Amino acid sequence: MGSQTSQQREKNVMDRVRIEKVVVHISIGSDWDRLQKAAKLLESLTGQKPVFRKARKTIRAFGIVRKRPMSVMVTLRKDRAIDFLRRAFEAVDNKIKESSFDEYGNFAFGIQEHLQLPGTKYDPEIGIFGMDVIVHLSKPGYRVKVRRYRRSRLGKAARVTKEEAIEFVKSMFGVEVV
């Protein structure tokens, strides 16, 4: 009774991989006008209001000052995340490097120009921006690890592995992992 066959594990609802969140991030630097334009662009692309991120340290060689806004980001969940991810994969020709995946099943990739996203047009007032897309995958029950009340550890079966993440991306989005 203790050992399960692969068919039994596939039927288990708790083993289904899902998208927890998708983070879209544009890093600019200390130029406030370009940050405003990047925020406007992210809002038009995702339909959500972006958040400004501040620098943690001062690095004089790069002109970075602590607590000054440096980048802008949006966190997408559920249907918005899936819709944006489909468009983002089209922008990179449905190909991702295997090295983009970490051992916990998360992955990230970059888009050089936002114009590569299908359905976007060039606006001379905004300009051209590149962006990072970070995807966090999880299984049901992951909340046990991150909740505030009665937080607990996760077993190995409750974590998403690199192989499961690659299989999920291939099957759900038809992406080729190179």
Instruction: Map out the domains of the chain as residue ranges.
Output: 16-177
| pLDDT of 20 | 94
177 vs 160: CA distance, rounded Å = 17
2-18 mean pLDDT: 73
- Give the pTM: 0.86
Buried b or exposed e, range 53-71, using 16+ CB within 10 angstroms: eebeeeeeeeeeeeeebbb
Average pLDDT, the chain: 89
At a CB cut-off of 8 Å and minimum separation 6, what does 14 contact?
139, 140, 141, 158
In a 3-state reduction of DSSP, which class is residue 25? strand
Region of residue 36 (phi > 0: left; psi between -120 and 50: alpha; otherwise: beta): alpha
Q: How far is CA 73 from CA 79, 82, 103, 146, in A?
A: 18, 17, 24, 21
Least confident range of 79-83, 86-90, 120-124: 120-124
In a 3-state reduction of DSSP, which class is residue 163? helix
Instruction: Please tell me the CATH superfamily of domain 16-177, with its number.
Output: Ribosomal protein L5 (3.30.1440.10)
| Nearest one of 23, 27, 162 to 105, comparing CA atoms | 162
